[in-house]
Amino acid sequence: MKLNENIRYSPEVAEAILNDRPVIALESTIISHGMPYPQNVETARRCEETARSFGAVPATCAIIGGRLCAGLTGEQLEHLGRSGLAVTKASRRDMGVIAARGGDGALTVAGTMIAAKLAGIRVFATGGIGGVHRGAAETMDISADLDELGRTSVAVVCAGAKSILDIGLTLEYLETKGVPVIGYGTDEMPAFYTRSSGFGVDYRMDTPEEIARAINEKARLGIEGGTLIVNPVPEKYSMDKDRIDAVIDAAVKKANALGVKGKKITPFLLAEIKDVTGGESLETNIALVLNNVELAAKIACAL
């Protein structure tokens, strides 16, 4: 495969793609907007190390100095982590403007899917996808991640939809967009912090090889669009569902009272949940991301 001249590849990622070696994309919003410093940078580095340990080359994706990057240096990871919320959270609508201005952008799930597709990367590991927000019937707040999954042919490994969302409506929206939801070793949609949500998946698959075959067949048939692989948080780190649901409900009410909306809502809720749970939610967040990176690497190797 040829390299895309519009992408700035790290030497490691470029060599892997040119030689058809397994590569997985990693997002950068989790670094700047998903966790506090220094845990964000430490987690980003652990994700890269985990990918390599399971046979895949990590390509953390971001916009740096106006250039779309697949694979970041240690200094760039540190910059994103230290800068935090000062780095623009970049989805499809933002990427061209940030590039034109020569700015930096932390890529969302949707943004990373676009970068991965352009770079020639087929698998992407993240924490949890965005989705239909609670109260969306009035606010119309629906994450661009869902439309991107319907249009961009990248397989996304996650721990389900973030439990701050309306998971039932998120699954309905994914069905409308023609996105298959595959449960890895589970019949139930995980809810990020917990292994269960009360909602089922479309298909259960128990091995990375089976998932890889489904991805390959979809591509062979010429069917565009992503595949969503949901991977429950390890049992050891799964939080009590009733407890975390109560915390999330309180955080949503606080956000509504303060008028927090749009791009600010998810970072606000995650920070609120972390504070209320005494950091337990952050520990769960880190564990599930690493778990997803491991599965994504195995799928990339099977592909």
How far apart CA 119 and CA 235 sit, in angstroms, is 34
User: DSSP assignment, residue 2?
Assistant: P
At 106-125, the pLDDT tens digits run: 999 999 999 999 999 999 99
How far apart CA 120 and CA 22 sit, in angstroms, is 11
Q: Per-residue DSSP letters for 231-245?
A: -PPPGGGPPPHHHHH
Q: List Cα–Cα distances, 49 to 43, 58, 132, 290, 294, in angstroms.
A: 10, 8, 32, 10, 10
3-class state of residue 156 by DSSP:
strand
Tell me the one-letter amino acid at 301. C
Q: Given 162, 272, 280, 298, which residue is catalytic?
A: 162
How far apart CA 249 and CA 255 sit, in angstroms, is 10
Q: Domain spans of the chain?
A: 1-121, 127-303
Could you give the residue ranges of the DSSP H alpha helices within 101-207? 109-119, 136-139, 144-151, 167-176
How far apart CA 133 and CA 55 sit, in angstroms, is 36
Q: How buried is residue 258: exposed, middle or buried, by Cβ count under 10 Å (0-12/13-18/19+)?
A: exposed
CATH classification number, 127-303, choose in 3.30.750.24, 3.40.50.360, 3.40.1590.10, 3.40.1790.10: 3.40.1790.10
Instruction: Identify whether the C-beta of residue 213 lies closer than 8 Å to the C-beta of residue 231.
Output: no
- Is 48 a residue of the active site? no
3-class state of residue 48 by DSSP:
helix
Instruction: Identify whether the C-beta of residue 145 lies closer than 8 Å to the C-beta of residue 163.
Output: no
Per-residue pLDDT band for 79 (boundaries 50, 70, 90) equals very high
Instruction: Identify whether the C-beta of residue 7 lies closer than 8 Å to the C-beta of residue 118.
Output: yes
How far apart CA 66 and CA 99 sit, in angstroms, is 4
At 177-196, the pLDDT tens digits run: 999 999 999 999 999 999 99
Residue 217: Cβ within 10 Å count: 10
- Is 280 a residue of the active site? no
pTM: 0.93
Instruction: Identify whether the C-beta of residue 288 lies closer than 8 Å to the C-beta of residue 233.
Output: yes
pLDDT value for 123: 98
User: Does the fold of domain 127-303 match that of domain 1-121?
Assistant: yes
Smallest Cα–Cα separation from 90: which of 115, 124, 127, 126?
Answer: 115
Mean pLDDT within 219-227: 97
pLDDT value for 165: 87
Cβ partners under 8 Å of residue 109, min gap 6: 27, 29, 124, 126, 129, 130, 143, 145, 148, 156, 158
Structure tokens at 84: 């935090």
At 194-213, the pLDDT tens digits run: 999 999 999 999 999 999 99
What's the helix, strand, coil split of the chain in %, to 5? 50, 20, 30
Task: Tell me the percentage of the chain whose pLDDT exceeds 70.
Answer: 100
Q: Given 27, 78, 148, 294, which residue is catalytic?
A: 27
Instruction: Identify whether the C-beta of residue 215 lies closer than 8 Å to the C-beta of residue 227.
Output: yes
CA geometry: angle at 171 spanning 168 and 177, to 5°?
145
Mean pLDDT within 265-286: 83
At 115-171, the pLDDT tens digits run: 999 999 999 999 999 999 877 777 788 899 999 999 999 999 999 987 778 999 999
CATH classification number, 1-121, choose in 3.40.50.300, 1.10.8.60, 3.40.1790.10, 3.30.420.10: 3.40.1790.10
Phi, psi of 129 (to 5 degrees): -85, 160
